[in-house]
Amino acid sequence: VKRYARVGLAIFAALALLMIGRAARLSSKQPAVAALADPPLDADGVARILGKAIERPTISESPTSLAPAAELEGLRAHLAASFPKVHATLQREVVGDSLLFTWKGASARKPIILCAHQDVVPIEPGTEGKWRKPPFSGAIEDGFVWGRGAVDDKGSLVAILAAVESLLAEGFSPERTVLLAFGHDEEVSGKTGAAKIVDLFAARGIAAEAVLDEGNPMVSGIVPNVKAPVAPIGVAEKGYFTVRLSVDMPGGHSSTPAAESSVSVLLAALARIRAAPIPARLDGATAAFFDWLTPEMPFGPRLALANTWLTWPLVRRSFARSAALDASLRTTTALTVVKAGVKDNVVPRTAEALINFRVLPGDTTAAIQAHLVRAIGDARVTLTPLEASRAEPTAVSRSDSRFFHAIATAVREVFPGTIVAPALFLGATDGRQYARVAEDVYRFQPILMTSEDLPRIHGTDERVAIRSLGDAVRFYRRFLRLAAKD
């Protein structure tokens, strides 16, 4: 027994040393930079331009009810009046109702693309009166620009154009060609906007080095064990897939119900799906996220995260407590619609449910479908994929590319102390369309948000601080200077 104890102790000590060694060896991946000395910037002027842009209700209601052409035209005219140097120097094309600017560089190297979108989501009916400022007022008060699109994504649209305008005023010209692509239907699909611009690029033989589109904002107080603000630069996007389950069985009078009904069969199937979630795993963009963040953490969490080969079950359980972290680790399963029955004394013939999956890069919609068939194991349940919804996850873009480094460097220069990291983007953007013509696609919003700010996007009281807007302009200026180099 004594000998076993000694061997046990030796193994434990070796493991502990190995773990501590791994944690201690981690070194920071953050680019070392000095804070940027930048000429003063008229953030109030940019805020006024954004306010006027918000006044145009360029609402995408649905794929068949796009933003009104007159409002988009009004927005374009406002941009032309506000950014005269951009419009005098860059080549401007209107593609459908989307906007494409070409800023020609002398270099023959691949161009770079910056994206934003002109459309916004509707105001949820019944919440109009809850806004502190009317949603399309573009009011400037208390240091904020208020209204739908202040962040998503007229904030980016105006900040990118303001950055180019100010660079032009300084006589800057890019070495590489810079393309600015501003879609008009991002919120409902991108099919008549970004997709058409990408078709145009493909027809012209344009292959870009990389794309920077909207995406994850910088966050403060959200990533556990990291005190500093974090800039999670989206390097991949999840896929999207919705499946309909339906059961059709004899109904009848509720006074003499059969042992089983369409409803009970459906409920049993849903319970089995719930009991067999698609497994979590730490790889791809999320693994890269923690590779970059772990060295910045205190020793305890660093020890756990540097040794996930051993601690993974514990780490996974602790991540599961945050819906966003959990969603970064797995294909999520969300039951979104359940329908059956019309009357309290009739057993319904049919019952149906919709389940929405957000597909982790590495998983496929076909594999999910197979998983569902196995989990349900009941031929009475008909499974129908909603084909129009099917979108596979994107590839994972590189976090060691020159372009990624330019984003990371600009973040660290403009927002000193911020920790940058590649990350998975949990939403959907026009960015996915550009994979056809670009080596890498990055999704990032240079605006700092707290957990209190996040629900404002697509929600009530969307706003952006004038200071944040000014910093976003400074970010795009710096990024362009770095990324447009030969």
Are 245 and 269 a contacting pair, CB within 8 Å?
yes
Within 10 angstroms of residue 302's Cβ, the number of other Cβ atoms is 20
Compute the Cα dihedral for 47, 49, 52, 56 and give only its sign. negative
Q: Name which of 55 and 187 has its Cβ closer to Zn ion.
A: 187
Q: Which is catalytic among the residues 55, 119, 352, 471?
A: 119
Cβ at position 214, least distance to Zn ion in Å:
5
Cα–Cα distance, 424 to 114 (Å, whole number): 19
3-class secondary structure, 335: strand
Q: Name which of 60 and 397 has its Cβ closer to Zn ion.
A: 60
Q: Name which of 187 and 471 has its Cβ closer to Zn ion.
A: 187
- Reply yes or no on whether 186 is catalytic: yes
Q: Which is catalytic among the residues 71, 97, 153, 186?
A: 186
Q: Name which of 214 and 440 has its Cβ closer to Zn ion.
A: 214
Are 55 and 155 a contacting pair, CB within 8 Å?
no
Query: Peptide bond before 213: cis, by omega within 30 degrees of 0?
Result: no
> Strand ranges (DSSP E) for 169-266?
178-183, 208-219, 230-237, 239-248, 252-253
Cα–Cα distance, 345 to 372 (Å, whole number): 32
Q: Name which of 214 and 363 has its Cβ closer to Zn ion.
A: 214
Q: Name which of 138 and 251 has its Cβ closer to Zn ion.
A: 138
Cβ at position 183, least distance to Zn ion in Å:
9
Cβ at position 154, least distance to Zn ion in Å:
10
- Reply yes or no on whether 124 is catalytic: no
Cα–Cα distance, 135 to 122 (Å, whole number): 10
Of 268, 245, 243, 264, residue with least CA distance to 352: 245
Within 10 angstroms of residue 109's Cβ, the number of other Cβ atoms is 14
Q: Name which of 153 and 461 has its Cβ closer to Zn ion.
A: 153
First to last CA, the chain: 69
Of 14, 4, 202, residue with least CA distance to 95: 202
Cβ at position 153, least distance to Zn ion in Å:
4
Q: Name which of 185 and 214 has its Cβ closer to Zn ion.
A: 214
Cβ at position 429, least distance to Zn ion in Å:
6
Cβ at position 55, least distance to Zn ion in Å:
18
Of 220, 332, 226, 235, residue with least CA distance to 286: 235
Are 355 and 245 a contacting pair, CB within 8 Å?
yes
Residues of the shown chain interacting with Zn ion in the complex, contacts defined by CB under 5 A: 152-153, 214
Are 132 and 50 a contacting pair, CB within 8 Å?
no
Cβ at position 128, least distance to Zn ion in Å:
21
Cβ at position 217, least distance to Zn ion in Å:
11
The dihedral over CA atoms of 129, 133, 138, 143, expressed in degrees to the nearest 10, equals -150
Of 236, 224, 234, 400, residue with least CA distance to 296: 224
Within 10 angstroms of residue 303's Cβ, the number of other Cβ atoms is 18
- Which residues are part of the catalytic machinery? 119, 186
